[in-house]
Structure 1
Amino acid sequence: MSATVYLAAADGPDQPLADALVRALPRYGRRGAVRVTRAGDPGSADWFLLLASPESARDAAVTTAIRQRLAAVGVERLQVVVTTGTWEWDSARGELSAGSTAAPEPLRTAFPAEPRHMPYRGDRMHPPAPRDPVFLDQLAEIVAPVVGTTKDDLVGEDVRRQHRVRRLTRIGAAALAVLLVVAGAGGVLAVQGAAAADRARAEAEAQRDDADSRRLAALAQQVAGADGALARLLAIEAWRIAETDQARDALALAAEVAGDWEITTTSDDVTRLIGHASRPIDIALSETHIATVDATSMLRIWPLGEVSSPVQTESSSGLVDLAWSHDGETLAAAGGRVHLFGADGGALGFAGPRSPASVVGTWGESGFVAGGDSVALIEDGRVIAERAVAELGFTDRAVFVEGDRTGERVLAASAAGQVALLDAGLQVVAQWQFTVTVDQFGERDSARTLAWDGDARVVLPPDNETILGPVLRQGAPDAQDGAIAGIYHAHTGEALEPLISTGHLPLPAASAVFLPDGSAVAITPGGLESPPAFGGTASAPDLSGVPLPLQAELVRTSPDGAWLAVSGAGEEVHLLRIGGSPPEESDDPLVRACAAAGRNLTDAEWAIHLPDRPYRATCDGFDAPGVR
């Protein structure tokens, strides 16, 4: 399989060199492994080669191609040959300097570290001779990473080819007279010899493929206990290279989501959303998508029920809280302002309350409510009402805000434990107080546990005086009933129903959600000699068998109750279906193995395990070359 190289160069002085590269790169690539194109989609090519110069920095077509490449792939597999002008890295700013005359504008801030570039030492305005040593050296430097080898090996192979051609030329000249004499009879023998050579070559390639297939199948078995994703990807490649018995057995195991290969991104119950740079700090689900934001303010959006890489949006705005609109069309993220995104991750602008927003909730069909030092209603991307928390009777900032679907009511709670039910004009309808839970480190944990059903019930943790005691203020349950939270009347604060955990002396709930049927689920990070566990009302589904992440502390559900998501101290989110109709599973073992792997091989893994083959994406739907 050949690797495609998209060549971007400006019209003008760079054209002679560009034309020479188009002709020479495929010839210089090992066994025709390189194909050069200057048209089509730059994002679909395996490599992107830029002839950088002041002319290309100003060329609109070159700039457009670069933008398309960055949007699709980023700066991976991008090579730069500087034909003239300057290309300098500003280490203090972490970007290409403003004085880099050969750097197109889209590339100035695109690189996370100083990029490698190649200066062209020839005359770009004159076509290089085919055996020009400067041009050949440049070719080797460009082609080597494309075909997965080193420049020295590539140059050595080219030298060996030249010697072989010269030797064969001399032998051919000496034998020419003999061949002319026996041309008639030799013609038949030559055809037979060529056919025999083709058969021998094909047999050698088949033997090589069989050997690679068996080797990768054996490697898949060896690494299965340490990295189930890598094991599955090696098994898939083993089968694609050659359908050996060993590859068939490895692929059969790879298609299983449980059993001997335990470490995987997918199990019978849980899909693990991976690739976070740090601990996820909030999760939000619509009926079609799940969004997460981690401690680095990286926002990720996955389609529910599909196995693929997420859309990623980096932000310097300190995003800390997420909410989908009730119609599922818009995602809001609080970080001072309330930033708005579409389901595809596209930015839709922002709304700025007078006081910085640190929490956000859904309000109305498509609007949001933001909280912090004020409570603000947002509709059509703008603030339509806002009141300071002091006007609501709060003595501390708002740490929970949520609106109902009709847009008639908002529930807000403060860090000091005041709860206020508000109308559409943000006027207080009802207000009461709960006791704020304080952990052993003095941190106040109650705010994150709050959940509202949009009507008359709210979930709260037990107060700090009754962590191991009854969650209800009157009567049962007693201290051993494992109550980790309770449901209270949203208008009066009256205790209604406990949420019970099966854990041994668990801590109070760290997070809770209401399900569409009126039941509620909460999660406790564990307790004395007990791991994290779910708790729930008597009517809640039994989730005791669901594997949970380490120190699980955040649970969210989709509005239709079909999906539940949990995160903890690790860098992943556990996603499981708890309702609705599950999608039909594919019978294709390749599809099942890719779903279980959850990613593609990285460049480094490919170089280690398949060094003599050009890189390709093993699984569709995931980023290549690997997890971002």
Structure 2
Amino acid sequence: MGKHMKFRSLPKSTEGRSAVGATDAYAAFISYSHAADGKLAPALQTGLHGFARPWFRLRALRVFRDQASLSANPGLWTSIQQALGSSEFFVLLASPEAARSPWVGREVAFWLEHKSLATFLIVLTDGKVVWNYVDGDFDWTRTTALPPSLHDVFSEDPRYIDVRWARAEEDVSLHNPRFRNAVADVAAPLHHRPKDELIGEDVRQHRRTIRWVRSAVATLTILLILALTATVVAVDRQQAAQEQQRIAEEQQRVAEEQARTAIARQLQAQAELRLDQDPRTALRLNEVAVHIHPGQETRSALINNVLTTPYRGILTGHTDLPSAVAFAPDGHTLASASLDGTVRLWNTSYPTTSTELTGHYYGALSVAFTSDGHTLASAGYDDTVRLWNSSDPTNPTPLGAWLTGHGGAVWSVAFAPDGHTLASTGEDGTVRLWNTSDPTNPTPLGAPLTGHDDTATAVAFAPDGHTLASAGEDGTVRLWNTSDPTNPTPLGSPLTGHTDSVRSVAFAPDGHTLASAGYDGTVRLWNTSDPTNPIPLGSPLTGHTDSVRSVAFAPDGHTLASAGYDGTVRLWNTSDPTNPTPLGAPLTGRDGLVVAVAFAPNGQTLASASGLPGAAGTVRLWNTSGPAAPTRLTGHDGPVIAVTFAPDGHTLASAGEDDTVRLWNTSDPTNPTLLGAPLTGDGGAVWSVAFAPDGHTLAAGHEDGTVRLWNTSNPTNPTPLGAPLTSDGGTVWSMAFAPAGHTLAAGGNDGTVRLWNISDPTNPTPLTGDGTAAAVAFTPDGHTLASAGLENGTVRLWNTSDPSNPTPLGAPLSGHDGFVMAVAFAPDGHTLASAGGPVGGDDTVRLWNTSDPTNPTPLGSPLTGHTNSVRSVAFAPDGHILASAGEDGTVRLWNTSDPTNPTPLGSPLTGHTDWVRSVAFAPDGHTLASAGDDGTVQLWNLTDLIEFRAHDMERACAITGGGLSRDEWGSYVSGLDYVDVCDT
């Protein structure tokens, strides 16, 4: 069962029963995440009850599990504490969801405080547990399944049982031998008996039960025969009636199924129509469709719509219009201020929770965090600024006395980057500075800044902390020199141009650009490189049809968000601030006025506050980066043509027209680094690269028809292996290693496939030169090779069981118009993808059933969407996602869980500015690499996509905040009783 599959024997001092002794109410307490292990936890409890159970007993052990063991009780935590106190062992079902669960955290903390660590058992159901032998603790940068409370608890690597495989099992009961063995691993310490002895006892008890049953059956059989004799005639008469009833019930079932299918498809169509304007309702319609008719079609539609829309959730709780939002530096904590007088701190990680701060006796208008996130400032209509200790956002506390001095409402607050200076603006038209070095005793700095002729509405510090911008209802923006905050001075003349009140200002991260938002419906950009002489940049940004209330720059400085009273958020590309352009369609949410926007530190999440005064408002979250946020790798001098990952997933090879191969360390895909010097071979452009299965040999195919082999055992210093492999085939367009690693296939532009025996990579030998190929791919068993043709537009399959004598299999696969540029097998070897290329190509991807390679057949309709030739295809390791790369500059993802009906996954991945030549998945499936003619390699993080596919309804419900209301159900669903599909 592997290294981490059996529990360590208990220390001698704990081999007998604990102090609780034989009177323990429970042998074990199961702690788990309902969301992650709602199926596995009951199965484990049932298994422990039944394992080695005598026939005359109800259960072998008494095991506590909250939903099964608790009666209705208002004191939930008290009841759980009692159960923990009366349990001898603690069984943690470890998973990422359990690691984030506050309930699991409390249960673990209670056990560690009151019980012995020797009675703490870990069962891994999902995620990772990695031990750092140097530090003598878990590697918390890689461990995802354990709660933080286990930090520095174990003195040595704890044993745990790995049951992650059980999530894919239909049968998780004692009838499944693998699950029965896992239950035995858990049950052994609970019974205080070795596992083999306990298994023997289970077998004996099973045999005793069988003997008892046989005896009982013998007696009952005699009685049964007598009873059957009397009922034979009655049964004959009933059978005809039952058959008629069965037929009628089957007909009714088919009719109901057809009706549910029709309703689900109607809901899907309505969801597509509403997705742009009302994404929350659209996703709720998708949720109902999955509930009514669960299956590949409805789930694919739900997943695709979630990935297509930027909408990522709604935060509710404020009873009046939210007026401001601000992210803490950790990116997970969001503060919102509301006219209801409260400030709320939200944990925007999944699932979302919030904490309410009360203190303002009238509407709260603004919030701001210090750069370390430990202090929060809030401003309100009650003429005060309040400071809060937000080090623990679940338990914020007030700091010091209220800051007063403005002669009326305080409209805005902002901290300087060093966190020691706070600026506030007021209804009295002044800007005030405060020393917050000691937030428990803030003090005024200098005299109030005057200059605005009306209410000062907004304030923002430049990134260097030396320049402050303020906006006013007088329609101006003013700049101030705050290098000496005790004596700030005006900078230049007021910025004029808005024809009405200016309500928001924001500096770009480089400090050279300032954005201002006005009630005149425009956003203006200003060059503040010289703050003593700021100048307008380009024309005003127009698009909002009503007042613009807020602006915010993304951390990269290339994206600006604006919020308007027209109910929309608009995104602008400010890479060239002299000519900003709109980005995509406006973000809408049907909530009335949008009054505030703020970017998270990662730049991928945007929060917007919206509603109407006097009514409950909402905060909405938006994904502004698409389904994945690419990390760009640069270094090639010209187009990058091919990419491939090493089997360990930590090394990426990229090949370019600059006659080099570059190796990258992708252990942290968010921060890849170059490994060693580029590999050069003087063979012209490198068109293809492939790692051998052992990861120690890399093949590079060159424009001159040669293949060069490299020893990459030390990727920081790879070395050549033997002489180049030569042929007369021209450019080597594609290569593939057979799974055993001894055979290398290379396809060239002369239409041939060449096979090489590289058992000794320093002295490879040619095997054959037959075949036709622009691209090649082996099945996982290595017995079949696919090759893609050029002008004839076909794909051929070859039997390579004897690589020295490959033979064709079946007829060529035809269907593409023009060239076929790429082929790839799914991991199960039963599905083949092919890509249509240039010169009359059809720009499609086609799937083929190759279960019988002598008679391959097409699967479903061609995949369309690329607007130019498709250059590359690759399957994810689970076979459920296919990536395709095109000359249209995009990468597209496809759901191939049902290869007879593949569907798009979200919007195309855009990031390359030229052709995309190649795509490759990392072995864990969480990272996708793409290579482009723009000279870059881009790494796409697909973790969220993969996790969403595993928990589609749960994640969708977290985004929408619940299913359709009863009234909405009545509007969209006919003939079915109401169900809150997110509460089932």
State whether residues 315 and 620 of structure 2, in contact with CA within 8 Å, keep that contact through their aligned partners in structure 1. yes
| Paired residues for 1:302-321 under 5 Å | 302=346, 306-313=349-356, 315=358, 317=360, 318-321=363-366
Q: Cα gap change, 1:558/1:250 in structure 2, threshold over 3 Å: closer, same or farther?
A: closer
Distance 1:605 1:189 in 2: 59
Match of 1:425 among 463, 485, 492: 485
Give SS of 1:338's match.
strand
Conservation of the 8 A alpha-carbon contact between 2:510 and 2:557: no
| Equivalent position of 2:586 in the other structure | 547
In structure 2, distance between residues paired with 1:190 and 1:325:
83
Match for residue 460 of structure 2?
Answer: 402
Q: Is the 8 A contact 2:322 2:609 kept in 1?
A: yes
SS in 2 for 1:423: coil
Match status 1:231 vs 2:285: yes
Distance change (3 Å), C-alpha of 1:393 and 1:377 = farther
Q: 2:398 aligns with which of 349, 353, 368?
A: 349
Residue pair 2:503, 2:517 contacting (<8 A) in 1 also: no
Name the residue aligned to 1:557.
Answer: 599
**Alpha-carbon distance in 1 for matches of 2:433, 2:299:** 55
| Cα RMSD (Å) | 5.6
Q: Helix, strand or coil for the counterpart of 2:305?
A: coil
- Which of 290, 306, 312 aligns to 1:271? It is 312
SS in 2 for 1:253: helix
Describe how 1:184-203 pairs up with structure 2 within 5 A: 185-187=222-224
Displacement of 1:326: 1.8
1:555–1:566 contact (8 Å) kept in structure 2: yes
1:487 is aligned to 2:532: no
Q: How does 1:210-289 map onto structure 2 within 5 Å? A: 220-224=264-268, 225=270, 227-238=281-292, 247-257=295-305, 267-275=308-316, 277=318, 278-286=320-328, 288-289=331-332
Indicate if the aligned counterparts of 2:458 and 2:505 stay in contact, CA closer than 8 A. Answer: no
Match of 1:161 in 2: none
Residue aligning to 2:436: 378
> TM-score of the superposition, structure 1-length normalised?
0.51
1:385–1:426: 8 Å Cα contact kept in structure 2?
A: no
Give deviations 1:263-294, integer Å, cap 9, x for gaps: xxx74333243536554321213452344334
Q: Residues 487-544 of structure 1: CA distance to partner in whole angstroms, max 9, x if unpaired?
A: 143732521423653639x6675433344455563537499xx987545545268543
Question: For 1:87-129, what per-residue CA distance to the aligned partner results, in whole angstroms no more than 9, with x for missing partners?
Answer: xxxxxxxxxxxxxxxxxxxxxxxxxxxxxxxxxxxxxxxxxxx
Query: How much has 1:358 moved relative to structure 2?
Result: 3.8
Of the candidates 952, 955, 958, which is equivalent to residue 595 of structure 1? 955
1:35 maps to none
Per chain length, whose mean CA-contact separation is higher, i.e. which structure has more relative contact order (CA < 8 Å, sep 6+)? Answer: 1
Q: Which has the larger radius of gyration?
A: 2
Task: Note the alpha carbon deviations across 1:287-336, whole angstroms, 9 max, x for none.
Answer: 523443344345455556x5533424263623221223223455433232
Cα distance in structure 2, aligned partners of 1:44 and 1:539: 61
Where do residues 75-474 of structure 1 align in structure 2 (5 Å cutoff)?
185-187=222-224, 220-224=264-268, 225=270, 227-238=281-292, 247-257=295-305, 267-275=308-316, 277=318, 278-286=320-328, 288-289=331-332, 290-297=334-341, 299-302=343-346, 306-313=349-356, 315=358, 317=360, 318-335=363-380, 336-340=384-388, 341-342=390-391, 344-351=393-400, 352-355=402-405, 357-367=410-420, 369-373=422-426, 374-387=432-445, 390=448, 398-403=456-461, 410-413=468-471, 415-416=473-474, 417=476, 418-434=478-494, 445-451=501-507, 453=509, 455=511, 457-460=513-516
Q: Is the 8 A contact 1:509 1:522 kept in 2?
A: no
| Cα distance in structure 2, aligned partners of 1:589 and 1:362 | 40
- Listed as ranges, the gaps of 5+ residues in structure 2 are 1-62, 83-101, 104-218, 236-241, 272-280, 427-431, 613-617, 631-940
Q: Residue 547 of structure 1 aligns to a residue in which SS?
A: strand
Q: Following the alignment from structure 1 to structure 2, what is the Cα–Cα distance between the partners of residues 429 and 359?
A: 20
Deviation at 1:546, TM superposition (A): 3.3
> Which residue is 2:620 aligned to?
573
State the one-letter code of the partner of 1:251: R
SS of the equivalent of 1:425 reads coil
Amino acid at match of 1:271: R
Partner residue in 2 for 1:498: 538
Are the equivalent residues in 1 in contact too, given 2:323–2:364 (CA < 8 A)? no
Closer, same or farther in 2 for the Cα pair 1:249/1:509, shift >3 Å?
closer
Shift, 1:446, TM fit: 0.6
- Give the C-alpha shift of residue 485 in structure 1: 0.6
Q: Secondary structure at the match of 2:524?
A: strand
| Structure number with higher strand proportion | 2
Per-residue displacement from partner, 1:116-147 (whole Å, max 9, x unpaired)? xxxxxxxxxxxxxxxxxxxxxxxxxxxxxxxx
- Percent identity, aligned pairs only? 13
- In structure 2, relative to structure 1, the CA distance for the partners of 1:437 and 1:573 (3 Å cut) is farther
Does structure 1 conserve the Cα–Cα contact (< 8 Å) formed by 2:473 and 2:503?
Answer: yes
Aligned partner letter, 1:360: V
Give unmatched runs, 5+ long, in structure 1: 1-38, 52-59, 66-70, 73-181, 240-245, 259-265, 469-482
Cα separation, partners in 2 of 1:273 and 1:209, compared to 1, 3 Å: farther
Q: Which residue of structure 2 aligns with residue 123 of structure 1?
A: none
Whether contact under 8 Å (2:517, 2:551) holds in the other structure is no
Give the AA of the match of 1:253.
A
- Deviations along 1:40-85, whole A, 9 cap, x unmatched? 999999985459xxxxxxxx969999xxxxx98xxxxxxxxxxxxx
1:184/1:45 CA distance change after superposition, 3 Å: closer
User: Alignment length, in residue pairs?
Assistant: 416
Aligned counterparts of 1:596 and 1:519: Cα–Cα separation in 2: 30
Query: Which residue in 2 is equivalent to 1:149?
Result: none
Indicate if the aligned counterparts of 1:369 and 1:403 stay in contact, CA closer than 8 A.
Answer: no
Change (3 A) 1:548 1:228: closer
CA distance change for structure 1 residues 237 and 501 in 2, over 3 Å: closer, same or farther?
same
Measure, in 2, the Cα distance between the counterparts of 1:522 and 1:364. Answer: 21
Distance 2:370 2:343 in 1: 16
Residues 367 and 379, structure 1, Cα contact 8 Å, conserved in 2: yes
Q: SS at the partner of 2:551?
A: strand
Change in Cα spacing, 1:314 to 1:346, as seen in structure 2 (3 Å) is same
Give the letter for the 1:315 counterpart: T
Aligned match of 1:521 in 560, 585, 607?
560
1:286 and 1:348 map into 2 onto residues whose CA distance is 16
Cα distance in 2 between the residues matched to 1:522 and 1:602: 30
| Counterpart-to-counterpart distance in 2, 1:603 and 1:526 | 27
Relative distance call for 1:321 and 1:563 in structure 2 (3 A) is: same
Does the Cα contact within 8 Å between 1:437 and 1:445 map onto a contact in 2?
Answer: no
Residue type matched to 1:400 in 2?
A
Q: Contact 1:235–1:247 (CA<8 Å) still a contact in 2?
A: no
For residues 69 and 305 of structure 2, what CA distance do their matches in structure 1 show?
33
Residue deviations 1:204-242, cap 9 Å, x none?
xx9999999887666544555374344343345457xxx
Q: Secondary structure at the match of 1:434?
A: strand
SS across alignment from 1:447: strand
Q: TM-score, normalised by structure 2?
A: 0.34
Q: CA deviation at 1:257?
A: 0.8
| 1:296 partner SS | coil
After superposition, the C-alpha distances for 1:560-591 in whole angstroms (9 at most, x for unaligned) are 54444445557452522349445531276462
